[in-house]
Structure formats: structure tokens, C-alpha cells
A and B are shown apart, each in its own frame.
With several copies, the nearest count.
Chain A
Amino acid sequence: MAFIPHTQQDIAAMLATIGVDSIDQLFDEIPEALRAGILTHVPEEMSEMDVLRLMSDRAASDANVSSFIGAGAYEHHIPSAVWDIATRGEFMTAYTPYQAEASQGTLQLIYEFQSMMTQLTGLDVANASLYDGATALAEAILMAARYNKRFAGKKVLLPRNIHPHYLQTVKTIVAHQGIELAEIDFSATTGQIDLACLAQFKPDDVLAVVIAQPNFFGVMEDVDAMTDWAKSHNALVIGVVNPTSLAALKPPGQWGTEGADIAVGEGQPLGVPVASGGPYFGFMCAKQALVRQMPGRIVGRTTDLDGKEGYTLTLQAREQHIRRGKATSNICTNQGLTVTAATIYLSLLGLEGLKRVANDCVVKTHQLVSELTKLPGVELLFNSPYFHECALRLPVDGHVIQQKMQEKCITPGLNLQPYFPEFGNALLLCVTETKTDADLSCYVDAFKACLK
């Protein structure tokens, strides 16, 4: 009876009040034929101690590896205060703040989060989160289509240098709305969106252009030129951005002369552990004009009966619980707790701290890359400036390197081969501020040994 407080007396008294003889009787409306037998795959009850022992043994078997994979999930230092506070029962075990007066903690925090995200992206409005970066991009495309109702025949340009999993997710999610997705290629030398591919599109051919900054290869795009091109073609611009990088890079709201219209991205780098891929959160910011097309919760500031300020969910008429089939999205439960963590993270770091983190990552990545590219056969895949990730051409199979470096408990990066077989042997690596000079030396030594 784990977690069930009922004593035999309680049960007897409750059954008597209800006027039945047994708990079984409460299920008497259920057709007999539907009664299931005992479960077969769920094991016998275990104590908390046994569960912790089992799972700690399993976790330990995955641990103690020095990982240089980024590719959409970034290992950063997470201040101890972040999760100490986020996991306080009052934050962790509350639900969506439907009763605003009893949820001012969560509501004010989300309002602060929205404020921070609009500041970071240079845009006007933000929502309270989407599931992750990939679904946020999908929702942004749906939103662009809602905003530009006459989108039939227009295309959404999806560069092939965004995260391949984002591309796949977008395809799954927007598949049913008659939105045409056009994949556009990147330059094999720069890794940036290939401008030549754009020539085919005339003004009003394009509904929206997606630009990842930095892109999947860590390469920085010429976002100003791309945005201006999009605007000149009457297309919306959707930026896919890494939030850490926003401390160092021009915010989407400032791209080109008019700025991007929507910025989305993966919030994980802001205080959320890499943890097998989730829970993370997707963020979405946009220009004011798009606010009524936004999916997800939005918190607004208002006043109470006494004129005192307070916070509440707002623009709920966009949402499924009010608008049902006509809602801007079906999203209901979002990623509230990771947003809580991110808000605390951003408060602790501030712009200055976040910039230190970003710059440190950039410098350390370049440091490692410059050591590696001294080795025979190791070279940059692209000749463009890159942020904290870099794609390298290798003289040997990336999978083999990975296996060999395993012996030193190092994961050298993501083997690009399965994603972009056209590159041959290639590796995408990422260095964050969590790596020390000693870690980099170990990497280089282990790597050298693999080449022998």
C-alpha cells in the first residue's frame, strides 16, 4: 500500500458511508468481461531503498565519461542554487496556475522568465515554454502559417544545416497543415546556407525562412544578409538560436534591418542537465504582432480587487481549453519546472555571467580545435567562423575514434557519418566551460593515440 494512507478502519467507515460492502462493488458498472487479471510484467513492490540501489547501480554504469558532444544538448555548470530552489515542493508539485491567487509564485516567475527571454532575443513577447527546441521550431512554422493565412503555395525554407532531428520533428508535426517545406542546402565550403539555393525563390514564394544561429555545425550564419533577403521576399524570419550564444551574438530581434519575427530554441543550456535529452524546454519569442498566434501559456501582469499587482494566465482564448479545435496549438502541459530552473539560472548569471560562459566555451572550443587540426589528416570541415561547436574531417572512421577513446572514458564528439554520409569521416565536437585545460590535454593525447 505504498503511499495509500487508508487503514482498515478508514476503509470500513468509508464503505459504510457510501453504502457498499467492498471496494470491488464500486466497480460494478464496469462490464465483467473487461476486468483485467493480475499484471504480469510489473514486478513485485520494492522499497525505496531497493529502488534507489537498483537505479543508482544502473546510473553508475552510464557515468564517469568526459563528453564532448553538443549537438543540441550542452553540458554547462548549473549553480547549486538552481535546482535546490526549483525542486522546492511549492514549485515542483504545483500544477498549471489555473487558480491565479494560489499560484502567484509560479505566475510571477513565468512573467520574469518571459521578460528575460524577450530581453535575450530582442523581441517583444515570449510564452511560458513549449516542449523542446525542435517542437518549438515546428510550432513557430505553424504560427507563421496562421499569421500569414494565405500561405497556400508558399514555402517554408528549411536549411539542411539545422539540427537533423529538428528537421525530422518539424516534418512530423507540420505534416498535416498543407505547409510546403523546402529544404535548402548549405555550402560545402562554408557550412552556411547556400545563397545560390535561394535564387530560385521570388518575392511572395516564401512563407518563412528558418535560420539557425549558430547552425548545427557550430557555424555562424550571416544572419543580417539572410534576414534582409527574407524581408525583401515578404517572408517571415524564424531564428533558431542557442540561448547561451545570445549573450555574445546579435539577438534575432536585431538581425538585418527589420529583425527576425520569431525566435525559438532549446532552453536546456540555461540550467538544465543534459540528462538523456529531457525534460528540457522550448522557448519562443516573437514580435508583438504575432502574439495572438502564439501557442502555449502566456502570463500577464494585472491587478487585484484592491489594485495590488498580481499575475495571471492571459490571452487564454488562444488555448485548447477555451478554443478547443480552433486553438493555436494543442499544447496543455508544458515544461514549467525547467523554466523555473532557467529563470533562476538567468538571474544568477545575468548578462555578464552568461557572456563569460559563452566566451569561455568559444575560446576553449577553438583551443581544442587548433590542437587537433595540427594533427595529420584532421581539418576543419568548413572555413567559416564557428561558435562552441566545430565539425572536423578525420583521417579515420569517427566510430573507431569513439570506441578507442572510450578506453580513456572520453566521448570525443558526435560521429557525423550517420547524419551526413557525404562528409566521409567527420566529427562534431563541442567544448563548454566545464572542461579544464587538463581535460583538453587528455582529449588531445587520447586522440593522438587513436591516429597511431
Chain B
Amino acid sequence: MTIFDISTTGRRATAQAPLNIANVDDLIPKALQRSQETILPEVSELEVVRHYTRLSQKNFSIDTHFYPLGSCTMKYNPRGAHHAASMPGFKQRHPLAPLVYSQGYLSCIYELQEFIKDVTGMKGVSLTPMAGAQGEFAGVAMIKAYHLSRGDFVRDEIIVPSAAHGTNPATAVMCGFKVKEIPVKSDGDVDLEALKQVVTERTAGIMLTNPSTCGVFERDIETISKMIHKAGGLLYYDGANLNAILGRVKPGDMGFDVMHLNLHKTFATPHGGGGPGSGPVAVGERLLPFLPTPIVGKQHQSEKVTYYWLTEKDIPQSIGRLSAFMGNAGILLRAYAYSLLLGRDGMHEVAEFSTLNANYLLKRLEQAGFKIAYPTRRASHEFLISFSREAKEYKVSAMDVAKRLLDYGFHAPTTYFPLLVPECFLIEPTETESKEIIDAFVEAMINILDEIKSNADIVKKAPHSLPVKRLDDVKAVKELDVRWESGKNS
């Protein structure tokens, strides 16, 4: 039942709009007025509350379930950070408010810029990108601007490992680059030989995550860095995995020139059922002139500290503006609060305990007979296992296992990413989960393994206990139905 199916003509939540309807016939030319009525739902306030409260209960979420979605860092989102960002003064501040009504907000944002410089080892930060992918866009656009500013017009290629997240190649293309994919070796590190082949004078840069999406630390990073820099290219760091090394290794120290952070991952801001996130970019010396605007500056005016906006006027070579205002301000405030809650020691602990949890879970699964993709390697904060054996022997796919895990009350890990490991799970427990829950997850996995051997059908037809059974994705594409229409079945 959608909200449209509950709708009844003439019903209204009367408390929520002005009590009288103002006449605008003299103010809006007739020809511009709406004549066609929309079919928005007509429902009571109770119906709305009940409908969406019940809908919400159909979701798995961090607040209700272990959610080891690799590459996504589904850790506890502190309610305190949410409250701190929801103070009326913050919620009511207009983005174009005069500076005098902005010092509270700007001071938080300025400090967050400083924190991010600290943990990344970078020289400058712009918080405006609204998600990781927009951070990538900003970063690659800066790489482009850098080369162009030096009169270096031939560099039209960005190198990306085959294991990279889809946003990496997609971003490179959006920035007008060609993508050169390079393979990953069987130990999870980049194939240096292959890399050598593609590094040329056309190389604008390389995009890497480290630890990589294979769940291992790229050990040759210093070599890669030298190789790329020597060829005149720059290094982009995809910060999706920063959680694994937060406060322990600074991307700047690895030789990266530019990076984004996913605050909705590493800084524990809520994922919101798909967003909003925030993807600040941080840069080394070379890319400082190109940072996207606006940025918050700080000045001392006769004893008093004031904060202000740096715009294109201050950064004339900036790649420009990426949003109507300055990105996802509320997410930035949450990340700021999170930083304060953790403090510097807490930042280090994020890396330590997310790594401890991942390695412990890896070892337990290995002992239970699961196939580890990179068995000779330490896990970073996440790791890969493969169901290729089960797929072959029992015709049970990684997706089947994922669905079956839902029945056991666990959200499934990321499946089929990266693509190079067949039938894989990318598993990221995060530091905020306890040993007990990891042990319970292992137990469920062992049970499922037993089921695969004894009664594969129960796995193949899973889930059995959710609001719906296995959904038909193919039909969803073939018989495209993307909006409610009166009279359509429901």
C-alpha cells in the first residue's frame, strides 16, 4: 500500500498549512497558473505518521542490525553529533546570512578544515563537495587545472586499478579524461609492471584507494608515487577507506597530491538511506590554488578573531563552485562534533579497532572454511571472501548467501565488488561493533555453509522472513514502473 493508495479525495492534515487560502489571482497571470491538478496524496496527519513509521520498520539499519557493508563503513552514528548539528541556531541560519550571524557556524567549519588537514597530512581543504564522488570530481578537475595551468595540454589519461570503485572511472570521464585500467596482482597489490606500461607523458594522474578495495594495504605505494610523479602525473587518493588508517598513516605522507574524505563513512555521519554524505577534498602544496570555493578563512581584526568566506576572488584559479551554497553543511557539523567526541586519541583508535575487528573476523571465517581472497595478507578494516567454490559445487551464489544472511538478522556485506574476485563478499565490520556480534555473524555464516551443503534450496530462495521474498530485478527493468498511477495495481 503506497501513500497514494491510502489517499482519499478531500482529506487533509489541516494543521500543517495556513488555515486560509490566499487569493493570488491578481498577482499571478492566469496563463501562468496551474490548472491541472496533481494527484498528491490526500491524507490525515495520523495516516502519514503511521504509514512512514511502519515503512521505516521494513529497513535494516545500523541502529537495528549489524551492517558489515564493505567499503561503506557502516559504524555507529553518534546521536550526540546529530543533536549538536541540529541546534536551532544552526538549522535556522540562512546560507547567505551576513557574517555577523555566521561566526558560530564558520568557526566550527574552519576548525573542521584544520582537523582534516591534520589527519590527511595535506595543506589545504575545501569542504564543499557533497559526497565522495563529488570530491573525486573536484580532485580530478584540480589535477586537470594544474596541468593546464602549466601549459601541459597533452595529459588526457587517468590511471585506475581494475578493482577501483565505479565512481573513479566515471569521475575521470566526467572530467574529460580517458581511463586506463591496470590489473591487481593475486596478492592484492597493484601490478607494477602493468602500471609501468601505461604511465606515459599522457598520464595526468592515478586514482588509488589505500588500503585498496581489495581490503589490503598497497605496499608499493611509495614506488607508485615516485613512478607517477616522475612521469609528471599526480596521485589522487580515494578516501573511502580512510577509516583503516585514520591518524596512523596520512595520505599526504604517502605522496598523494589530492584526496577526498567520505565523512559519512570515516566521520560517522548517518548514511540516511543513500545520503546525504560529504566529500571534502584535501590537497598538497601544488593544488592549493585550484581548490573549489567557498572555503572558510580566519582573520584577526583588532584582538578579535573573525571568520569569513574565501571565494573565487581570493582563489582566482579555483576550479569553481560545486554547489549552490557550500555543500552539506549539516553533515560537516556532525563530522566536526564527531571529531571532538573522538579527540586525537580516538582517531587513532578508529584505525586500530576497525583493523582488529576485520582481522579477527577474517581469521574466524578462515578457520570455519571460507575462502579468503588474499589469505597471505593482513586485512585492513575490511577483507574479501569468495564463494566461487560454493557457486561451482552447489550452484549457490554470493547473492544467495547475502540474502540468506538477512534471514539471520544481519545485513549482507557488499557483494560482487570488486569484480575481479568472483562471487565475493567485501566485509567491513567497523570498530564500533563488539566481539560478540562478530562471533554471532560467524555462527550465522557457518550455519549457512551447512545449509548450502545440506539444503541449498533454502539459501537459493532466501530471504524467507523479510517483508518480501526475493525480488525480481529483471522485471523491474523490463516492465519499468517508476511512479504510482491511479488504477495501477497496488
Q: Is B18's beta carbon under 8 Å from chain A? A: yes
Give CA–CA (A11, B10) in the complex, Å.
Answer: 12
Q: Is A327's beta carbon under 8 Å from chain B? A: yes
Residues of chain B within 8 A of A34, CB atoms compared: 221-222, 249-250, 253-254
17 further contact pairs, Cβ within 8 A, besides A34-B250, A276-B95: A3-B15, A11-B356, A42-B247, A62-B93, A89-B63, A99-B403, A132-B323, A172-B320, A277-B325, A279-B130, A302-B472, A325-B170, A333-B279, A334-B275, A340-B272, A353-B12, A357-B17
Q: Which of B45, B136, B330, B333 contacts A330 (CB 8 A)?
A: B136
Give CA–CA (A60, B476) in the complex, Å.
Answer: 49
Which chain A residues numbered 231 to 246 have a C-beta less than 8 Å away from chain B?
246
CB atoms of B273 and A73 under 8 A apart: no
Q: Is A38's beta carbon under 8 Å from chain B? A: yes
Q: Is A347's beta carbon under 8 Å from chain B? A: yes
Residues of chain A within 8 A of B114, CB atoms compared: 41
CB atoms of B355 and A359 under 8 A apart: no
Q: Which of A51, A96, A300, A387 contacts B481 (CB 8 A)?
A: A300
Give CA–CA (A198, B209) in the complex, Å.
Answer: 48
Q: Is B197's beta carbon under 8 Å from chain A? A: no
Q: Is A153's beta carbon under 8 Å from chain B? A: no
Residues of chain A within 8 A of B15, CB atoms compared: 2-3, 47-48, 79
Q: Which of B107, B344, B483 contacts A44 (CB 8 A)?
A: B344
Give CA–CA (A56, B95) in the complex, Å.
Answer: 18
Looking across the interface, which residue of chain B has its beta carbon closest to that of A311?
B471
Q: Which of B166, B254, B347, B434 contacts A322 (CB 8 A)?
A: B166
Give CA–CA (A335, B324) in the complex, Å.
Answer: 15
Residues of chain B within 8 A of A129, CB atoms compared: 274-275
Residues of chain A within 8 A of B14, CB atoms compared: 1-3
Q: Is B461's beta carbon under 8 Å from chain A? A: yes
- How many B residues touch A, CB cutoff 8 Å? 218
Residues of chain A within 8 A of B403, CB atoms compared: 99, 101
Residues of chain B within 8 A of A200, CB atoms compared: none
Q: Is A229's beta carbon under 8 Å from chain B? A: no
Q: Mark A1-18, 1 if CB is under 8 A from B, else 0.
A: 111111111110111011
Residues of chain A within 8 A of B92, CB atoms compared: 62-63, 65, 67, 75, 273-275
CB atoms of A119 and B38 under 8 A apart: yes
CB atoms of B58 and A104 under 8 A apart: yes
Residues of chain B within 8 A of A275, CB atoms compared: 90-93, 95, 329-330
CB atoms of B83 and A4 under 8 A apart: no
20 A–B contacts from the bound complex (CB under 8 Å): A23-B355, A36-B253, A60-B89, A72-B95, A73-B94, A75-B92, A80-B78, A93-B74, A93-B77, A100-B471, A131-B328, A132-B130, A173-B137, A276-B93, A302-B472, A305-B469, A324-B169, A354-B17, A356-B22, A366-B27
Q: Is A254's beta carbon under 8 Å from chain B? A: yes
Residues of chain A within 8 A of B115, CB atoms compared: 41-42
A79 and B13 in contact (CB under 8 A), knowing A99-B60, A336-B274? yes
Q: Is A421's beta carbon under 8 Å from chain B? A: no
Q: Is B487's beta carbon under 8 Å from chain A? A: no
Q: Is B248's beta carbon under 8 Å from chain A? A: yes
Q: Mark A328-368, 1 if CB is under 8 A from B, else 0.
A: 01111111111110011011111111111111101100100
Residues of chain B within 8 A of A348, CB atoms compared: 13, 16, 43, 45, 48
CB atoms of B411 and A102 under 8 A apart: yes
Residues of chain A within 8 A of B83, CB atoms compared: 52, 80
CB atoms of B468 and A310 under 8 A apart: yes
Q: Is B285's beta carbon under 8 Å from chain A? A: no
Q: Which of A24-32, A181-189, A201-209, A375-383 lies at the interface? A: A24-32
Q: Is B55's beta carbon under 8 Å from chain A? A: yes
Residues of chain B within 8 A of A55, CB atoms compared: 84-85, 87, 90, 108, 333, 336-337
Q: Which of B28-36, B386-394, B443-451 lies at the interface? A: B28-36
Q: Which 9 A-B pairs have the closest CB atoms?
A: A277-B325, A89-B63, A45-B343, A337-B272, A59-B89, A336-B274, A277-B95, A176-B176, A63-B89
CB atoms of A4 and B16 under 8 A apart: no
Q: Is B201's beta carbon under 8 Å from chain A? A: no
CB atoms of B77 and A92 under 8 A apart: yes
Residues of chain A within 8 A of B41, CB atoms compared: 116, 346-347, 350
CB atoms of A87 and B95 under 8 A apart: no
A248 and B471 in contact (CB under 8 A), knowing A177-B176, A278-B326, A279-B130? no
Q: Is B239's beta carbon under 8 Å from chain A? A: no
Give CA–CA (A132, B325) in the complex, Å.
Answer: 9
Which chain B residues numbered 358 to 410 have a C-beta less than 8 Å away from chain A?
359-360, 363-364, 377-378, 402-403, 406
Q: Is B417's beta carbon under 8 Å from chain A? A: yes
Which chain B residues numbered 44 to 94 have a C-beta less than 8 Å away from chain A?
44-49, 51-53, 55-65, 67, 69, 72, 74-85, 87-94
CB atoms of B49 and A128 under 8 A apart: no
Q: Shortest CB–CB separation between residue B17 and chain A, in angstroms?
A: 4
Residues of chain A within 8 A of B348, CB atoms compared: 38-39
Q: Is B174's beta carbon under 8 Å from chain A? A: yes
Looking across the interface, which residue of chain B has its beta carbon closest to that of A89?
B63
Q: Shortest CB–CB separation between residue B150 and chain A, in angstroms?
A: 18
CB atoms of A302 and B476 under 8 A apart: yes
Q: Is A446's beta carbon under 8 Å from chain B? A: no
Residues of chain B within 8 A of A176, CB atoms compared: 141, 144, 174-176
Q: Is B305's beta carbon under 8 Å from chain A? A: no
Residues of chain B within 8 A of A122, CB atoms compared: 36, 38
Q: Which of A4, A51, A350 contacts B84 (CB 8 A)?
A: A51
CB atoms of A102 and B44 under 8 A apart: no
CB atoms of A357 and B272 under 8 A apart: no
Q: Shortest CB–CB separation between residue B287 and chain A, in angstroms?
A: 15
Q: Is A168's beta carbon under 8 Å from chain B? A: yes
Looking across the interface, which residue of chain B has its beta carbon closest to that of A117?
B483
CB atoms of A352 and B17 under 8 A apart: yes
CB atoms of A95 and B273 under 8 A apart: yes
CB atoms of A102 and B18 under 8 A apart: no
Give CA–CA (A111, B3) in the complex, Å.
Answer: 10
Which chain B residues numbered 144 to 177 have a C-beta less than 8 Å away from chain A?
144, 165-167, 169-176
A279 and B331 in contact (CB under 8 A), knowing A61-B103, A114-B483? yes
CB atoms of A171 and B320 under 8 A apart: yes
CB atoms of B378 and A333 under 8 A apart: no
CB atoms of A355 and B356 under 8 A apart: no
CB atoms of A329 and B170 under 8 A apart: yes
A172 and B322 in contact (CB under 8 A), knowing A18-B363, A356-B18? yes
Residues of chain B within 8 A of A309, CB atoms compared: 468, 489-490
Q: Shortest CB–CB separation between residue A334 and chain B, in angstroms?
A: 4
Q: Is A287's beta carbon under 8 Å from chain B? A: no
CB atoms of B89 and A85 under 8 A apart: no
Q: Is B219's beta carbon under 8 Å from chain A? A: yes
CB atoms of A103 and B59 under 8 A apart: yes
Q: Is A169's beta carbon under 8 Å from chain B? A: yes
